[in-house]
Chain A
Amino acid sequence: MHAAAGFVSRRSSADVLSEMSTLIDIRDLTVRIDLPEGPVFPVRNVSLSLEEGETVGLVGESGCGKTLTCLSVIGLLGRRASIESGSVVFQGVEIDPDDPDDKRRRSRGMGIIFQNPMTCLNPVRTLGWQVAEAYQIRTGESRRVAQRRATELLDLVGIPEPKRRAADYPHQVSGGQQQRAMIAMAIAGGPALLIADEPTTALDVTIQAQILDLLARLQREIGMGILFVTHDLGLVAEVADRMAVMYAGRVVELAPADALFAQPRHPYTRGLLTSLPFLDDDIDRLTPIEGTVPPLHAMPPGCAFAPRCSQASPICSTPPDLRASGDGLIACHHGLKTDTVAA
C-alpha cells in the first residue's frame, strides 16, 4: 500500500527529485464516521502525496470521500468523524488533530477554500476584516499591518477597487468575488499548501474559468502546493501535474496528468473520461457511468466498482491493491493490458 507514497511525480527525473521535498504525505488513511446505525468508513486506505509547488487533482463522483480526505489533512474532521488508522505527514511531521501546537502549525502551513463561498464567509464581518484576521493569525503581525496587507491580498486575487471592497460585507459582492476573497484568506500569510475543495462548483461557467486562472497564476507566483478537488475531470486537466482518482473511498488510479488523460488505465477512470463532453459540449453529464456508487454501509468486499464494471471477473471479489501500471498506479485486477505508454 505504501507504494503510493514513493510514487514519482511527472516533473521529477531522479536528480530533480532529490531537491523537491514532500509537502504532504497521506499514508494509508482510513476515516471513520460514527452513525447511529454503526460506524462507516467513507475513506479507506488512501495514500497520496504532494510535493512542494505541485498541483494534484483529486477527482471522483460525489460522496467518494474527497472532502473527508481534505478535512483529515487540515485536521477539521469535526465531532462525528475521526481518523481510524493511517496518518498524514505534513512537512515531515505527522499531524496530531488534538494537539493545539500542531493545530497552529497546520493552520499556518495550510489554507483551505470550499465549495460555497457564501456560507464560508462570516456574514457580519467585512471582507477586509476576514482577510486581515487570517493574515494576523498566521503571521502574528499587528492589526494595522494585517489591514494593509488584506487590501493588498484582495488586489492580488483580482478584486477591483480592493480598498473599497475591503469594507464590503460578503452579501454585497458577487459569488465570484466572494470566492476570490476566500482565496485571499486562504493564502494570507503564505501557507505552503492550498486545499481547494471544489472551489468552482457553485459558480457560473465563466467565473469558474477565471477562478481557475487565478489559482494557476497564484501557484506560479507563490509556488505553493495545491490539492485541487473536483468531480469535474475536464476542469483540472489544465492545472494539475498529477491526478488521483477516487472511487467509493479508495484511490483507484494515480498518474501524471498527461498520462492519465492520454491513457486512462482504470476502468472507472476510463468511464469518467469517455463520459466527459468535449469542450463547449453541453451533454448531460450527471450519470457518467451506468449504475450507482454502493452505499457506505454495504460496500462489496472486493473491488467496489465491480457492480458497475464491464471488465469485472470472479477475481474482482477480492480487493485489488494499488500497483504500478504505466507511469502511474491503479487498483484493478485487470486494468489496461498494454504496459507501453500510448502518447
Chain B
Amino acid sequence: MNLRYVSIKLLRAIFTLWLVVSFVFIVLRITGDPTEQLLPDDVGEEIREYYRILWGLDRPVWEQYLLYFKAAFQGDFGVSFRNSQPALDLIWQRVPKTVELGTATFVTALVFGIPLGVMAAIWRDSWIDRLTMSFAVFGFSMPNFFLGILLILLFAMNLRMLPSSGYGTWEHMVMPVFTLATAFAGAIARFTRSAMLDVLSKDYIRTAEAEGASMSRRVWLHAFPNAAVPVVTIVGFSLGGMIGGAVVTENVFAWPGVGRLLTSSVADRDLAIVQGIVVLVAITMVTANFLVDLAYGWLDPRIRLGSGGQSR
C-alpha cells in the first residue's frame, strides 16, 4: 500500500485525537474550577487546595495544558472519587464487556445486512426487496430503548424464554445484540442495496455478462468489490451511532459495560471517569476512521495507487 496515503491518514487521525483531547481540556477549564467539577461537594477547602496543587491548577494555563497532555498520554485521567481507584482502571474493567457486545452486534449486522442488501438489489422491486427495505426502515426508526423494552416484555416477561437483563451466558446476549443490530443491519442493507444497484448497471457488469460470467460471479466477484467502498463508509459512520446506542442498550439490559459506567458516572458527577470515557470513545472513533481509510485503499486500486500512472 502507498506509504504516502497511509501516513497522510495516520497524521489526520493523530491530529483529530489531539483536537478531541484538547477540547476536553478546554471544556473542563471553562466550566469552572476543576476541583468543583471533579471533587464531591462536601470536601473541605484544604483538600481542594491540596488537589489544586496536585493537579497543577496553580500553574500557568499553558503549563497545565502540557501536564494534562502528559497525563493523558500516560493514561492518567485522575481518580474516581467514588472509590478512589484510578479512572482508567475502572473503565478498563468494563471495556471487554462492551467490546463483546459491540463485536457480536457488528458481526450480526454484517451477516444479515450485506446479503439482504445484495439480494434486494439483484431482485429489485420483488417481495424480498420490499421486505428488506421495510425491515431497514423499521430498524432505522425504532429507538433502541423502545425496542429493548418491547423485547423484554415479549421474551422475558411473557414467553420467559430469555433473561431480561444481566451478563454471563449467550442467552443474555440475544436481546441486547438484537436491539443494537437491527438499526445497524438496516442501515447496512440499505446502503448495500443502493451501492449494488448503482454498480450492477455499470458497463463492466455487462462486459462480464457478455463473456458468460454467471450471476453469482458477476455479483460477488465483479459488482460487490466495487460496491464495498460505500458500504465500508457507512459501516464506519454508523460506529458513532452504535456507541450511542450501546449506552442506551447497556442500561436497558443492565449490561455491565462502559456505557452503563458512563451513565452512572454522569449521574454521580464522577467526572474523572466521564473524561476518560470521552477520550476512549474518541480514540475508538478515530481508529475506526483510520481503518476505514485503509480499507478504501485496499478495496480500490484507484485510491491505493493514485490516479497517476500513465493515464495517457
Contact = CB atoms under 8 A, between A and B. Distances in A.
Interface of A: 74, 76, 78, 103-104, 106-108, 110-112, 114, 116, 119-125, 133-134, 137-138, 168-169, 171-176, 182, 185-186, 188
A111 B221 CA distance: 20
Contacts of B225: 124-125
Given A123-B204, A123-B226, A76 B310 contact: no
B70 interface: no
A174 B310 contact: yes
Contacts of B208: 122, 133
B300 A116 contact: no
A78 B203 CA distance: 12
B210 A174 contact: no
Given A171-B309, A174-B311, A123 B210 contact: no
Contact of A171 (B202, B211, B301): B301
A61 to B, nearest CB: 22
Contacts of B301: 123-124, 169, 171-172
Contacts of A182: 207
Contact of A172 (B203, B210, B311): B311
A119 B204 contact: yes
B44 interface: no
A133 B203 contact: no
B212 A168 contact: no
Contacts of A134: 211
Contacts of B226: 122-124
Interface in B136-194: none
The 6 closest A-B pairs by CB, nearest first: A107-B212, A174-B312, A172-B309, A119-B203, A169-B301, A122-B204
Question: Helix, strand, loop or mixed for chain B's interface?
Answer: helix
Q: A122, A125, A188 — which one has the most chain B CB atoms within 10 A of its CB?
A: A122
A296 B4 CA distance: 53
Contacts of A121: 204, 207
Nearest to A114: B203
Contact of A124 (B300, B310, B311): B300
Interface string B274-312: 000000000000000000000000011110010101111
A23 to B, nearest CB: 17
B91 to A, nearest CB: 40
Interface residues of B, number: 25
B222 interface: yes
A122 B218 CA distance: 11
Contacts of B203: 114, 116, 119-120
B29 to A, nearest CB: 49
Q: A103, A119, A168, A171 — which one has the most chain B CB atoms within 10 A of its CB?
A: A171
B300 A123 contact: yes
Contact of A120 (B207, B299, B312): B207
Contact of B210 (A112, A122, A125, A173): A112
B207 A185 contact: yes
Nearest to B301: A169
A188 B203 CA distance: 19
B206 interface: yes
Contacts of A171: 301-302, 305, 307, 309, 311
B209 interface: yes
B13 interface: no
Contacts of A174: 310-312
Given A107-B212, A137-B211, A175-B312, A122 B305 contact: no
Contact of B305 (A76, A104, A169): A169
B10 interface: no
A122 B208 CA distance: 9
A108 B221 CA distance: 20
A103 B221 CA distance: 20
Contacts of A111: 210-211
Contacts of A137: 211-213
Given A124-B225, A171-B311, A172-B310, A114 B207 contact: yes
Nearest to A134: B211
Interface in B196-232: 202-204, 206-213, 221-222, 225-226
Contact of A119 (B202, B209, B312): B202
B312 to A, nearest CB: 3
A16 B260 CA distance: 88
B212 A76 contact: no
A174 B305 CA distance: 15
Contacts of B307: 171
A188 B213 CA distance: 14
A173 B206 contact: no
Given A106-B212, A176-B312, 19 more contacts: A103-B212, A110-B210, A111-B211, A120-B207, A121-B207, A122-B204, A123-B204, A124-B301, A125-B225, A137-B212, A169-B302, A171-B305, A171-B307, A171-B311, A172-B301, A172-B309, A172-B310, A173-B311, A182-B207
A71 to B, nearest CB: 9
B77 to A, nearest CB: 43
A199 to B, nearest CB: 13
